[in-house]
Amino acid sequence: MCSIALSRVLFAPRVVPKISGTVSTRWYSDESKATKTPLYDLHTKYGGKVVDFAGFLLPVQYSDLSLSESHLFTRKSASIFDVSHMLQTNVRGKDCLSWFESICPVDLKGMKDGSSSLTVFLNEKGGIIDDLIVTKVNAETLYVVSNAGRLEVDKQHMKETSEIFRKKGNDVNVEFLETSQRALIALQGPKAASVLQKLTDITVEDLMFMTSRLGKVAGVDCRVTRCGYTGEDGVEISIPAEKAELVTEALLQSSDVKLAGLGARDSLRLEAGLCLYGNDIDESVTPVEANLTWLIAKRRRTDDNFPGSSIILRQIKEGVTKRRVGIRLETGPPARKGAVLKDAKTSETIGAVTSGCPAPSLGGNVAMGYVSEALKKAGTQLFVNIRGKDVPCAVAKMPFVPSKYYIKK
């Protein structure tokens, strides 16, 4: 498999209202009316600092660990993240593969039953509507997990396109699982598999990266998919809402496991080189520009029949003018979203940072951004302008921290 860039979850940061004068990277807001996930009480119980994130009340961190401690704990042991805010969708029907391939560049027909893939919803110009993980349960059933920040857009998109498809005489039905019905947790880190094995009838050793099984976890019927958003080995567990606490508490019985919040999730995914929708990718960029060309499955390149395929296939052949790259700042302040990137030789503006933060596993800072095609090579020296100062940085290979996915050697 190519170096996987699983990009998921988080949504464009918003404001911390109480210190809106002070904190400028706008992460969260506490507008109420936000939805509680099935694990809300558990977050409170364990000292979660809960914020409104894309309309859901979720913890940024817990009182027992700082963000970097939680980040490092995940890399050396295992953490549980509540990702119930993400949209889970079941798709059924004889023609479900064809429908899904009509909106994504994925090769579902070539995938084995029980395997999963990162893919993207594309608009007619090849722009990315959202990124998501699709699991081919079997030829007539799909299980899809997409971003909370795009929940309404994704629902609308799936509804509309499936309706049109149905009217042409095809058999496809889309069922959105509400947060009140279904929880989703991510268990991530080198000890995730051993912790899980003690509580499940699934043979975890046989569950390869990007495969998915139904099975019992702590006696509860769940769907377990070996994937994640941290660069570590791990799983995502889809659980009936009313049993979510039970399963999470059972996993937490192990001293190898702690709860982690959105803060660590963001720094982990950045070190892993994974995109955040709304920051690193959006409708204005194509998968080719986003350095996600590998998402255009081989067979689909020949078929030339996915949304925006003529533009995307031309870009693959002829190239693009800008490209998403990793950026490393060994010292100094972190480069955040919006910071202007310049060519170190000419001081000419050549792009901008789309997300960035300190890198607890590496020291210094990591970022992603778009640069002009001529400057995309790893090692290229750049400046990033932070509060009026040009800070030296360099284009770097991603992932910044080697991925530990469970792949057959």
Q: Which residues are annotated as a binding site for substrate?
A: 236
The nearer residue to other proteins, 65 or 174, going by C-beta atoms, is 65
How are strands ordered across the β-sheet holding 182-188?
Answer: 212-217, 220-225, 234-240, 182-188, 78-82, 257-259
21 binds other proteins (CB under 8 A): yes
Three-state SS at 396: strand
Is 16 a binding residue for other proteins by CB under 8 A? The answer is: yes
In the structure encoding, which two tokens stand for residue 138, read together?
Answer: 């079997």
Which lies closer to other proteins via its Cβ, residue 93 or residue 261? 261
Task: Please identify, using beta-carbon distances, which residue of 326 and 360 lies nearer to other proteins.
Answer: 360
Q: Shortest gap between Cβ of 343 and other proteins (angstroms)?
A: 24
Would you count residue 68 as binding other proteins (CB under 8 A)? yes
Piece in contact with other proteins (CB under 8 A), picked from 35-43, 93-101, 112-120, 355-363:
355-363
With CA atoms as reference, report the closest residue to 364 among 329, 408, 314: 329
Q: Contact between 218 and other proteins (CB under 8 A)?
A: no
**In contact, 183 and 244? CB cutoff 8 Å:** yes
Among 22, 32, 255, 346, binds other proteins (CB under 8 A): 22
Does residue number 336 form part of the binding site for other proteins (CB under 8 A)? yes
Tell me whether strands 87-92 and 173-177 are parallel, antiparallel or unpaired. antiparallel
| ∠ Cα 193 196 201 (to 5°) | 115
Q: Whose Cβ is closer to other proteins: residue 357's or residue 396's?
A: 357
Q: Quick one: which of 401, 404, 337, 389 has its CA closest to 364? A: 401
Stretch near other proteins under the rule CB under 8 A, chosen from 18-26, 125-133, 298-306, 309-317: 18-26
Q: Establish if 27 lies at the interface with other proteins (CB under 8 A).
A: yes
| Nearest to other proteins of 25, 102 (CB atom) | 25
Residue 190 interacts with other proteins (CB under 8 A): yes or no = no
Q: State the minimum distance, in angstroms, from the CB of residue 229 to other proteins.
A: 16
Which part of the chain contacts other proteins (CB under 8 A), choosing from 65-73, 139-147, 226-234, 374-382? 65-73
Per-position b or e across 342-368, b if 16+ CB within 10 A of its CB: bbbeeeeebbbbbbbbbbbbeeebbbb
Residue pair 152/313 in contact (Cβ under 8 Å)? The answer is no
Contact between 332 and other proteins per CB under 8 A: yes
Q: 257 burial class (0-12, 13-18, 19+ CB within 10 angstroms)?
A: buried
Q: Which of 14, 51, 15 is nearest to 36 (CA)?
A: 51
For other proteins, the binding residues in 231-270 under the rule CB under 8 A are 263, 266-267
With vertex at residue 141, the alpha carbon angle to CA 139 and CA 143, rounded to the nearest 5 degrees, is: 130
Question: Cβ 332 to other proteins, closest distance in Å?
Answer: 7
| 24 contacts other proteins (rule: CB under 8 A) | yes
How far apart are the C-alpha atoms of 106 and 134, rounded to whole Å?
A: 9
Contact between 71 and other proteins per CB under 8 A: yes
Phi, psi of 163 (to 5 degrees): -65, -45
Binding site for other proteins (CB under 8 A): 16, 18-19, 21-25, 27, 60-61, 66-68, 71, 263, 266-267, 332-334, 336, 357-358, 360, 387
